[in-house]
């Protein structure tokens, strides 16, 4: 069974930065395609970013392009989301997700992911 866990959420003022981390265990980490999704109250869960198993392929949601950066270190079983220039619209619960995928791509839809963390809250005040 794959276990996924996020860390690093918190509260920050607009214009600030936060760094989220995610670890996964139970399968070889480099067999896993990983993603970050977020969900604000009353809204659907949306893609923030995803990364292929090797890290060579990344995708971003339109609202976070050029502000957020996803990366992974397979030797440390860790994925990181660096979030810069945060604004109130980024306030949401952020979830780390994983799926076993040996292809060189990552998935933009949350329905493609089998394993989810409990989420970490990010709150940005104006």
Extract the runs of DSSP E, i.e. beta strands, from 14-67: 18-25, 32-39, 46-51, 58-60
- The residues, any chain, with a CB within 8 Å of residue 23's CB and separated by 6 or more, are 4, 5, 77, 78, 79
Mean pLDDT of 58-62: 98
Tokens coding 3: 């276990």
Give pLDDT tens digits for 23-59: 999 999 999 999 999 999 999 999 999 999 999 999 9
Q: What is the pLDDT of residue 102?
A: 84
Q: What is the pLDDT of residue 1?
A: 86
- Measured CA to CA, the distance from residue 22 to residue 72 in angstroms comes to 9
Tell me the pairing of strands 78-83 and 115-116. unpaired
**What percentage of residues in the chain have a pLDDT greater than 70?**
100
CB 49 within 8 A of CB 41: no
């Amino acid at each position: 069974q794959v276990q996924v866990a996020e860390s690093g959420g918190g509260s920050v003022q607009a214009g600030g930065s936060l760094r989220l981390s995610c670890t996964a265990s139970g399968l070889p980490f480099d067999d896993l395609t990983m993603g970050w999704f977020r969900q604000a109250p009353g809204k659907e869960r949306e893609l923030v970013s995803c990364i292929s198993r090797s890290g060579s392929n990344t995708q971003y949601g339109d609202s976070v392009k050029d502000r957020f950066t996803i990366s992974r270190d397979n030797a440390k079983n860790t994925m990181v989301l660096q979030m810069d220039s945060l604004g109130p619209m980024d306030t949401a619960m952020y979830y780390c997700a994983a799926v076993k995928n040996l292809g060189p791509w990552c998935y933009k839809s949350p329905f493609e992911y089998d394993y989810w963390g409990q989420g970490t809250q990010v709150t940005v005040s104006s």
